[in-house]
Structure 1
Amino acid sequence: MPSDTAPNNGPWDAKLQQFHGGQEWAQLDNFVEDFSVTTNAFGMPSSGKLAAVHSIEHSHHYPPADQEPAKSSLARFLWPGEFAAERERLILGNGASELIDLVIRMAPAGTWRPGPFHTQYKEYERSARNNNFALLPPGTAEKANVACLVNPCNPTGDYLELPELKTWISDNVLPGGYAIIDESMQPWQSEKFREHSLTSQREYVETLYRAQGISVFVMHSWTKLWCCTGLRLGSVVCPTAEHMRAIKKIQVPWSVNTVALAFLNAVVEDAKYLQDTWEMTPIWRKDTVDRLQTMFPAWEFHGRDFLSWIWINTKDTVVAERAVALARAAGVPVRSGGPGYNLPAFIRVAVRHPDKVNVLAEAWKSL
């Protein structure tokens, strides 16, 4: 939690900003690989990179105010059969962070609560605090005006299937309230991810809104799946087209730049990149877990097998601090669970190519 007395963490002003990882690489003379962020191990797709570079030729013009054709292309990706009907519930943003803030600004005032897990991505809490919500603790049985659940949960790796997710919404959101479900890591689930996503549940969302006035928003950050965190690219699927227009009304014009739109328009067509991701991520993740488990049998490894990271409980704050320092010194930074999450015995390690894992394992031999 930002405070007036908190120290700065690298480029973050801890008095004003919520800490986030992914900054250390630029400070390392011996940088090899960034294990601190949950981006795709395959790196930026060449298809998107080429489209982004070509788009620079048009960057002396304003980007399209309707976000087209990228918005329709993403709609086809999310709803291959019904994109035309669903598109009007979709809006793009300058990363998910912009849309998180816009939706919470629109939300009914009162109480806010996180998901049921030990911790989750902190941007929702930051926005709720800045917008004067009363923050309820994760374990409370009290329903809230606004409830935000990251599913799959970053960093803990917890995951609710659709029936569990719907039950959680019913149990935790007041009538007339907002449920914001972050599915940024959902597309890693498999090529059948759409069947497991709330984006496929239009009838359920409409019924819930009509019967109880509960508005369900499905949030995505696309910068992890397509490894483009520097471009800032997110979207939200709203419960109705009217909700989408309410966001558009308060969103800054040209929020998503020409380069990001061109990138998105290309990568949604890159089937091979996704097939490689779905095939290799579970294999590389399992190999990494097996290797680290052999090295450190006392550690606990958390998260579903399809995820792009591993959440590790070292059970020892000193060991975790040393692991973070050794990885950084070797040019392979990992994420500490201390800054931001206040869980200093935990570390988060991204799934990466085995050659890069060799460097990390070698750095940790002295542990």
Structure 2
Amino acid sequence: MPTDTTTASVSSSGPWDAKLQQFHGGQEWTQLSNFVEDFSVTTNPFGMPSAAKLAAAHSIEHSHHYPPADQEPAKSSLARFLWPSEFETERDRLILGNGASELIDLVIRMAPAGTWRPGPFYTQYKEYERSARNNNFTMLSPDTSDKANVACLVNPCNPTGDYLELPELKAWISANVLPGGYAIIDESMQPWHSEQFRKHSLISQREYVEELYREQGISVFVMHSWTKLWCCTGLRLGSVVCPTAEHMRAIKKIQVPWSVNTVALAFLNAVVDDAEYLKDTWELTPAWRKATVDQLRELFPEWEFHGREFLSWIWIDTKDASVAERAVELARAAGVPVRSGRPGYNLPTFIRVAVRHPAKVDVLVGALKAI
């Protein structure tokens, strides 16, 4: 049966097959002879942590062996990062994947059939929708009052920058998921919140998750793409915290063996101990983001800037599709590509600009002055 490709209906250049795949940023840098910095992706501006990069490089020496089928010790190391005190009782709910994309697809494949709905925001990361369409769900709009068998919310929302605190998030789940259904909450950008991110995350809410499953049969999955926080998108590294250990085993049953390779596991096992990298991330990302917004707002007072102060990107409404297109062209020509809101999101007046080192921002701002 042919695959429904509605989410990829907007044509795009480069390596994406617009009829079959969901457009994503991060590809243009290979085509630029004058490449300076990639502002089109939401990765950490500090690049790959050096100690973890070295551990990944050293692991190549062992790549003639299969990686561990139980994903250890990297899985336990990530569990200790997520739950410093309770990791031994929590890790059986955790499973790693070849990027969050693999786990998104696996969870939606085993979800109860029927209806699917996105979060309450006007757009969000499209991989959930792509997977739901491929698995023949009936698609509901974000503004419907109907509850769904499967609801997926990206929080903080990429690209819009919207964010729900825990009480709001719990209320949304109750209002939008049918009994016996699945709630998939993507918290990939949550660790940017602050050193206290765990307290603001659903990973801290085991009793709530257990009660929801026990009383209403609603299964809550917390998804993470670790390639953004630790700037390792080429390694493909994600995880999902399941409502119970039984849910985790159900995913493992249909996951292909060794989906996370030796290099990615070595990187993860090392990177969770890099406290200095996270300290810099929490301290400097908000400052660099504010400085970028201030520079762009001074140049373009009519633009609207969206997103919480801790996020690694800025979602910008230029108010004019031709202006947004010109901004994308100028940035690309200067070797500092930004993400257009047109392909994938079908929001042609918007652009997304990553938070980057001030010296790299100067190149982007200099290019945009020609608008």
Question: Is TM > 0.5 for Structure 1 vs Structure 2?
Answer: yes
Query: Would you say 1:195 and 2:213 are equivalent positions?
Result: no
The match for 2:355 among 323, 329, 351 is: 351
The match for 1:281 among 282, 285, 290 is: 285
> Corresponding residue for 1:139?
143
Distance 1:344 1:287, change over 3 A: same
- One-letter amino acid of the structure 1 residue matched with residue 192 of structure 2: W
The CA deviation string for residues 256-307 of structure 1, in whole angstroms up to 9 with x for no partner, is 0000000000000000000000000000000000010000000000000000
Percent identity between the aligned chains? 84
Deviation, structure 1 residue 48: 1.1
Q: How is 1:152-231 mapped onto 2 (pairs within 5 angstroms)?
A: 152-231=156-235
- Give the distance between the partners of 1:308 and 1:106, measured in 2 at CA: 32
- One-letter amino acid of the structure 2 residue matched with residue 266 of structure 1: A
Provide the secondary structure at the position in 1 that maps to 2:38.
coil
Provide the secondary structure at the position in 2 that maps to 1:60.
coil
> Corresponding residue for 1:240?
244
Deviation, structure 1 residue 130: 0.1
Matched residue count: 367
Query: Would you say 1:331 and 2:360 are equivalent positions?
Result: no
Deviation, structure 1 residue 34: 0.1
The CA deviation string for residues 68-93 of structure 1, in whole angstroms up to 9 with x for no partner, is 00000000000000000000000000
> Corresponding residue for 1:97?
101
Query: Would you say 1:86 and 2:100 are equivalent positions?
Result: no
The match for 1:111 among 87, 93, 115 is: 115
Query: Would you say 1:308 and 2:329 are equivalent positions?
Result: no
Distance 1:303 1:246, change over 3 A: same
The match for 1:59 among 56, 63, 78 is: 63
Deviation, structure 1 residue 2: 3.6
The match for 2:367 among 360, 363, 367 is: 363
- Give the distance between the partners of 2:275 and 2:9, measured in 1 at CA: 48
Deviation, structure 1 residue 118: 1.1
**Aligned 8 A contact 1:8 1:15 in 2:** no
**Aligned 8 A contact 1:188 1:278 in 2:** yes
**Aligned 8 A contact 1:300 1:312 in 2:** yes
**Aligned 8 A contact 1:194 1:200 in 2:** yes
> Corresponding residue for 1:47?
51
- Give the distance between the partners of 1:104 and 1:37, measured in 2 at CA: 25
CA RMSD of aligned residues (A): 0.9
Query: Would you say 1:24 and 2:32 are equivalent positions?
Result: no
Moved over 4 A (4+): 3-6
- Give the distance between the partners of 2:165 and 2:342, measured in 1 at CA: 29
- One-letter amino acid of the structure 1 residue matched with residue 365 of structure 2: A
- Give the distance between the partners of 2:146 and 2:9, measured in 1 at CA: 31
**Aligned 8 A contact 2:10 2:343 in 1:** no
Query: Would you say 1:295 and 2:299 are equivalent positions?
Result: yes
The CA deviation string for residues 124-178 of structure 1, in whole angstroms up to 9 with x for no partner, is 0000000000000111000000000000000000000000000000000000000
Query: Would you say 1:77 and 2:81 are equivalent positions?
Result: yes
**Aligned 8 A contact 1:120 1:153 in 2:** yes
**Aligned 8 A contact 2:10 2:344 in 1:** no
Q: What 5-or-longer segments of structure 1 have no aligned partner?
A: none
Deviation, structure 1 residue 47: 1.2
> Corresponding residue for 2:322?
318
Deviation, structure 1 residue 8: 4.1
Provide the secondary structure at the position in 2 that maps to 1:230.
helix
